[in-house]
Structures are given as structure tokens and as C-alpha cells.
Chains A and B, each alone.
Chain A
Amino acid sequence: MADEAKKKEILEKLRNGVIQYDEDTCKEAAQEALDAGLDANEAIFDGLVSGMEEVGRLFEAQEYFVPEILMCADALYAGLDILKPHCKQMDIGVKGAVVIGTVEGDVHDIGKNLVKMMFDVAGFTVYDLGRDVPLDKFVEEQLKTDSELVCLSAMMTTSMVGMPKVIEKIKEKNPNCMIMIGGAPTSKELADKWGADGYAEDASNALKEAIKMVSFLKKLRDEKAARQQ
């Protein structure tokens, strides 16, 4: 295991690479993280993603504009490409299928992609619809794939209003499917209000929630099967 000082230095370098939109630094630091035996997940979330959070603040303070934000995101992805294959595959016993996407009118997909990555490493089957996804597409894809879970992401107050519509439609067509929402403007309260089954504030909690939800669904099914026998 890497010693604390070294680890801190590498995480800082990943973070700064994103903030200073320097792809080369991100790649270099990602490789250093692997060489030093750092946990890839930790490098991603405490390094790269923590950098993107700062970028968000700089954007709000009008220090950064759209070109900088896009370059920061490119730097984040450059590091992510190197680290992602080294995320420890988890064996968590439960496996499920998930439909995921960012709702119509919204092109923010960095957060959604991180949530997707967590599902990937946990061995879930993921159907990624991408970003700016027409609301009906979620309903169609769920029916087509018979996924246990649908995950909706929104990063804007203007786009999240599409969520209750999707939730209603899916529940109408398939009441057994579970829905989780997330993204900065959403909350546990909104999830409850809109009739979603789950909410998580970040990617690792999203996975924990998903595992709970899928286990619950499986249990329901098993009970139902037992009763019918």
C-alpha cells in the first residue's frame, strides 16, 4: 500500500490536472496512482471527481466558462480511461439489469457516467441511453430489456421536471420496476414526492441503493413464487 504522503500527492495531482484542464498531467498522475498501488476507485473519486467539483465552483464564480469546463471534462476522462479498467470488480452476490440516462434537455453526463461505471464494476448489466434522452425512450427501453432498475440523471432544475413524467409512465406500464433518481438539483424529498423508489447523492451510494432495491425485488419475486407453489 502506498504511504499516506505519496497518496496525498497523487490525489492532489489528479485533482489539479482536472482543474487546470491538463490532460497530460491527469494521464501521468493516473499511471502513478496505479504504480503506487492506490485503489483506483479512490483515485477517481477523491482525485478526479474532487477536481471537477472545484471546477463547478469556478464556473459558478464565473472564473471558468464553457470552453474551460469542456477541457476540464476531457482531462477527467483522460484520467478515467486509465483508471477505470483497474477498478476492483466487486462480487456482491446480487446482479441486475439497469437502464440509465440523462433526461431530455440535459447534456450533463459526467455524473451519470460515474454512476454507470459503479454498476459496471459491480457486474450489473447496464443499458446506457446516453444524454438528452427523450422521456419515452426510458419507458420503451425498460420494457424491451425487462430491467429491474431505471436510473434517471438530471443536472438542471429545468430538465429535472421531466422526471416525474417518466416515473409515472414506467409505473403505469410496469409497476414492478424500480426507479432511482440523482443529480445535483434532485433530493430525497423530490424522489419521494415524485414516487421514485430511490435517490442517492453520489455514485457509490447509488450502487448501495441499487443493491438494496434489486435484493428487495428478488425477495418479492421469490415470495410470490413460493406462494404460488
Chain B
Amino acid sequence: MNAEPLKEHLKKEGATLVGVGDVTKALTGEIVHLNRGIALAVNRSLGSETVEQLVKLQRAAEIWLKERGFRSLSIPPDSDRIKGKLIARLYKLFSHKTAATCSGLGWIGKNGLLINKRYGPKLSWATVLTNAPLKPDSPVTESLCGNCDLCVRHCPSGAVTGSIWSRREPFKKLVNYERCRSLKTNRRLFEEKPNCGLCVTICPYSRKGLSNKARSGK
């Protein structure tokens, strides 16, 4: 099934990037039938407005699929904040970054984030899982971080270990999240905004994006 019309539709609705991945390998029993992951990204940091925008895009995808007789399950961008709902138990079964690499939209950087060639790690993501047999894009299998180690050297909590991701070893430990988290907790005592996010801004792919605007593609 051709995925282009859906991608066009979602881009018109405001998505920066849309990809379709075959996510079979990453699924557990409860959701095995939903083996296509639609990865949605917008080019802005994850604030409440971004969440709203991504959720709106997810609705648009759900409606498009439903009209054609397919099932869907949306994993919201802020999946960890949704409490008290039964469906939230399923959210932790799937990560947005998985959908993104499977859809060919980027690799996992040394900083543990999804790095897109054009926008770097600056994107915010959401996923819609579906049973529609959409033609998948080809997955990204290797990291393109190369010799760069800016995020390793500049992370204020020393959380980024420097290991390199590949699809063969997708869960290799890249970031010591305890450290990253503890920095945030400490900062919260002094600052309004607890986010550090240095590993986002420091990444050269974040900046390359600006100068490469003319270059088309992903």
C-alpha cells in the first residue's frame, strides 16, 4: 500500500518529517498486529505547544487510517507523563526513536538521541502504530557520528559514554540516564527550567541543518 498520500497529508498538516517503518522486530505480544510505525517529527523543542501539535498530527493519521478500515494506536510524545489511563500501560512498550530509525529518518547518536541528517537531534517525535500494510521506508542501520565526540566531552553530568549505536545492537548502553536525570533534579532547585539539553544544541548536525536548508531530502 502506497504511503505517499498519507505522508503528503501529514506534511500539509504541519509535520516536518514523516516516515513509515517496518517495526515488527520491536513489538511485544499485545501489539504484534500493529507492525507499521508512522514516525512523525516537528522541528521544535518539546514544550506543551509542541505536544499539542504532535497530538493533532496523530489524530489526522488515525482518521486517515480509520477511513480506510485500519487500526491504529498512537504513542503520545509525552508518553511518560500520561498517568491514570489504562492505555498508558502500553506506551512504554514502544519508543519513538525506534519508529524513527526504522523509517529511515535518522540514527541514534552518541548522545542517545535520534539524529536526523538535516535537523540533527532538535526534532520532537511522536508515533502512530498501525496494521495498514503501508510500504515501509528502508531503515537506517549505522551511526553517522563518526569521530565526533562533542556531546561526550561537553555533557555537564558526564552521562554520555561515547559508545556507538547500530541496528545490530540497538540497546547498547549509550547514556547513563541516572546521571542525566540527577543533573536535572539538582538544577530544578535553582532554575525554573530544569532541561539541560546541551547534547541537543552542541551536535553539529543541529547547526548543519541551518546552512543546508537549500539541500533537499531528509
Please state if B85 and A74 are interface contacts (CB–CB under 8 Å).
Answer: yes
Q: List chain B residues, Cβ under 8 A from A68.
A: 71
Please state if B86 and A65 are interface contacts (CB–CB under 8 Å).
Answer: no
Q: Does B30 contact A (CB under 8 A)?
A: yes
Please state if A65 and B33 are interface contacts (CB–CB under 8 Å).
Answer: yes
Please state if A66 and B86 are interface contacts (CB–CB under 8 Å).
Answer: no
Q: Does A67 contact B (CB under 8 A)?
A: yes
Counting chain A residues whose Cβ lies within 8 A of the other chain, the interface size class is under 10
Provide the bound-state CA to CA distance between A73 and B86, in Å.
7
Provide the bound-state CA to CA distance between A66 and B89, in Å.
11
> How far in angstroms is the closest Cβ of chain A from B63?
13
Q: Does A70 contact B (CB under 8 A)?
A: yes
Q: List chain A residues, Cβ under 8 A from B89.
A: 70
Provide the bound-state CA to CA distance between A73 and B30, in Å.
16
Q: List chain A residues, Cβ under 8 A from B33.
A: 65
Provide the bound-state CA to CA distance between A67 and B87, in Å.
7
Q: Does A71 contact B (CB under 8 A)?
A: yes
Please state if A74 and B86 are interface contacts (CB–CB under 8 Å).
Answer: yes
Residue of B nearest to A77 (CB): B86
Q: Does B31 contact A (CB under 8 A)?
A: yes
Q: List chain B residues, Cβ under 8 A from A74.
A: 85-87
User: A34-81: which residues lie under 8 A (CB-CB) from chain B?
Assistant: 65-68, 70-71, 73-74, 77
Q: List chain A residues, Cβ under 8 A from B90.
A: 66-67, 70
Residue of A nearest to B89 (CB): A70
User: A73-91: which residues lie under 8 A (CB-CB) from chain B?
Assistant: 73-74, 77
Q: List chain B residues, Cβ under 8 A from A66.
A: 30-31, 90
Q: List chain B residues, Cβ under 8 A from A70.
A: 86-87, 89-90
Count chain A CB atoms within 10 A of each CB in B31, B33, B71, B87 and give the residue with the most: B87
Residue of B nearest to A21 (CB): B87
Q: Show the binding face of A for B, using Cβ within 8 Å.
A: 65-68, 70-71, 73-74, 77
Q: Show the binding face of B for A, using Cβ within 8 Å.
A: 30-31, 33-34, 71, 73, 85-87, 89-90
* A-B contacts, 16 listed (Cβ < 8 Å): A65-B30, A65-B71, A66-B30, A66-B31, A67-B31, A67-B71, A67-B73, A67-B87, A68-B71, A70-B87, A70-B89, A70-B90, A71-B86, A73-B86, A74-B86, A74-B87
A68-B71, A71-B87 are known contacts; what are 10 more A-B pairs with Cβ within 8 Å?
Answer: A65-B30, A65-B33, A66-B30, A67-B30, A67-B31, A67-B71, A70-B87, A70-B90, A73-B86, A77-B86
